[in-house]
């Protein structure tokens, strides 16, 4: 199973990144804190066998309409993007807002008789979720929420099945019913995803914080380096993700970092973007703009089993072989595998960062399969907790997001007067 874990390497780190007494003191404090208060995500993991039995009646569903926000949606969507083939017979539509035009389009694509609405909400009190739910009254529904909440009461009204949402913050619920329910409905191998997550929890948990460097705890090491980078003026993170399969993890990363340790006047801003397309917009900012960005290159080393069987070898027609582009003739690409080309894209940008002395980390994801995807998610959970505790903030709350919600509810009512 170790082969499914991400690896991390570092480039051009200044002296501030080196081990120090401050680092060991911070580590000891975190060990003490987590011994007393283990991370909330260690509990509430899904019982896959039981859920599989409960969800058997939905096996014929062709369209999944997922209603929710934040971690209640995006952990599953990251799994789905990585693991669902494009040619899947089942489609998933995420409703994270109530934009009416888009909702109408989703309804047009999803016949009532072959579609299922899955509502995921930890609080059970999100107004936007309730609005979408009422708009989709005619559809069959399945709820993952607190049964005593307003949304739980709606489940009772609609006489719909309800699976309890664990007492775990939404952004850490990747291995709970929150993500397991839609994953199993869509046919994902959630047991393997969970196995990867458990492997990461074991590998990066508090017990491994006592291991000597350089082996150490990779999640803590990355958290420490990015914290030191912030203290030394690198307050933004450029995080290109070199993989179509892993690209939705950009939203997972953004929420984990911004909501968990963007507090008390601290915390970096992350710009997580799909690569190599990012080379056509944000490379210019990273290399040519203000020197306040830390590079976090995320590279999927392996591809899916099916894509490896379908690697494409270029056959350049002789008629165009002499056309020159960027100093080479197209004929020189004859016989080139596109997997080699794709790898060269990330290597080129990383090499540029090396040559320009840009501090950076390179995370290499070993494969695109359920275990590796789960392991990456588990890594991110512990990275986030360590990052929060290094800054002395609560990893699990988000106190600054409630005011805007209250204002938006008030404005809704005012527009009806």
**pTM for the model:** 0.94
Percentage of residues in the chain having pLDDT higher than 90: 84
- Grade residue 2 by pLDDT with cuts at 50, 70 and 90: confident
Output the six-digit token pair for 142. Answer: 């399945």
Average pLDDT of 206-230?
89
Q: State the Cα–Cα distance between residues 202 and 191, nearest whole angstrom.
A: 16
- pLDDT of residue 213 exceeding 70, the answer is no
Average pLDDT of 51-78?
95
Mind listing the domains of the chain with CATH numbers?
A: 2-37+195-399 (3.40.50.10490), 42-188 (3.40.50.10490)
Q: Which residue has the higher pLDDT, 305 or 279?
A: 279
What's the confidence (pLDDT) of residue 401?
79
Percentage of residues in the chain having pLDDT higher than 70: 97
**Span 250-275, pLDDT tens digits:** 999 999 999 999 999 999 999 999 99
Q: State the Cα–Cα distance between residues 274 and 276, nearest whole angstrom.
A: 7
SS3 content of the chain, % helix, strand, coil (to 5): 50, 15, 30
What's the confidence (pLDDT) of residue 303?
66
- pLDDT of residue 216 exceeding 60, the answer is yes
What's the confidence (pLDDT) of residue 71?
87
- Grade residue 307 by pLDDT with cuts at 50, 70 and 90: low
Judged by average pLDDT, the poorest of 83-92, 228-237, 273-282, 381-390 is 83-92
Output the six-digit token pair for 140. Answer: 């069959």
Q: Specify whether the CB–CB gap between 196 and 371 falls below 8 A.
A: yes
Residue 108's nearest CA partner among 80, 136, 133, 86 is: 136
What's the confidence (pLDDT) of residue 408?
83
Average pLDDT of 225-233?
97
What's the confidence (pLDDT) of residue 72?
85
What's the confidence (pLDDT) of residue 308?
57
- pLDDT of residue 145 exceeding 60, the answer is yes
Which H or E element spans position 374?
A: helix 370-390
Quick one: CA dihedral 377, 365, 16, 232, positive or negative? negative
Q: Specify whether the CB–CB gap between 366 and 3 falls below 8 A.
A: yes
Q: State the Cα–Cα distance between residues 24 and 404, nearest whole angstrom.
A: 39
What's the confidence (pLDDT) of residue 53?
97
What's the confidence (pLDDT) of residue 256?
98
- pLDDT of residue 173 exceeding 80, the answer is yes
**Span 65-91, pLDDT tens digits:** 999 998 889 999 999 999 998 767 799
What's the confidence (pLDDT) of residue 21?
82
3-state DSSP call for residue 340?
helix
Q: Give the number of other Cβ atoms within 10 Å of residue 63's Cβ.
A: 18
**Span 85-124, pLDDT tens digits:** 876 779 999 999 999 999 999 999 999 999 999 999 999 9
3-state DSSP call for residue 288?
helix
Which H or E element spans position 308?
A: helix 305-309
- pLDDT of residue 286 exceeding 70, the answer is yes
């Amino acid at each position: 199973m170790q082969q499914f874990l991400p690896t991390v390497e570092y480039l051009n780190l200044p002296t501030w990144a080196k081990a120090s007494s401050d680092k060991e003191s911070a580590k000891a404090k975190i060990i003490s804190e987590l011994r007393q208060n283990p991370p909330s995500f260690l509990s509430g993991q899904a019982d896959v066998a039981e859920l599989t039995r409960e969800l058997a009646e939905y096996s014929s569903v062709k369209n999944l309409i997922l209603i929710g926000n934040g971690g209640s949606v995006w952990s599953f969507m990251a799994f789905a993007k990585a693991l669902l083939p494009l040619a899947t017979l089942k489609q998933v539509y995420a409703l994270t807002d109530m934009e009416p035009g888009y909702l109408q389009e989703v309804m047009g694509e999803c016949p009532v008789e072959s579609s299922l609405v899955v509502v995921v909400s930890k609080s059970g009190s999100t107004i936007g979720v309730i609005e979408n739910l009422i708009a989709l009254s005619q559809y069959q529904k399945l709820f993952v929420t607190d049964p005593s909440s307003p949304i739980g009461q709606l489940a009772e009204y609609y006489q719909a099945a309800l699976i309890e949402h664990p007492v775990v913050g939404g952004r850490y619920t990747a291995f709970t019913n929150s993500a397991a329910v839609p994953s199993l409905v869509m046919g994902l191998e959630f047991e393997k995803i969970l196995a990867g997550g458990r492997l990461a929890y074991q590998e990066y948990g508090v017990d491994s914080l006592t291991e000597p460097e350089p082996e150490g705890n990779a999640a803590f090491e990355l958290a420490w380096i990015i914290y030191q980078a912030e203290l030394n003026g690198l307050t933004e993170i450029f995080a290109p993700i070199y993989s179509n399969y892993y690209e939705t993890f950009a939203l997972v990363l953004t929420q984990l970092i911004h909501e968990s340790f963007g507090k008390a006047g601290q915390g970096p801003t992350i710009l997580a973007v799909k690569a190599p397309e990012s080379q056509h917009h944000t490379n210019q900012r990273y290399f040519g703009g203000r020197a306040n960005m830390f590079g976090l290159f995320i590279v999927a080393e392996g591809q899916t089993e099916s894509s490896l069987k379908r690697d494409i070898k270029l056959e350049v027609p002789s008629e165009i072989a002499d056309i020159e582009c960027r100093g080479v003739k197209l004929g020189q690409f004859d016989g080139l595998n596109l997997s080699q080309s794709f790898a060269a894209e990330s290597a080129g940008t990383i090499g540029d960062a090396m040559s320009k002395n840009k501090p950076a980390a390179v995370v290499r994801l070993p494969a695109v399969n359920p275990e590796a995807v789960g392991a990456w998610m588990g890594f991110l959970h512990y990275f986030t907790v360590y990052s929060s505790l290094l800054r002395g903030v609560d990893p699990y709350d988000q106190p600054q997001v409630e005011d805007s919600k209250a204002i938006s509810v008030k404005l809704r009512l005012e527009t009806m007067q």
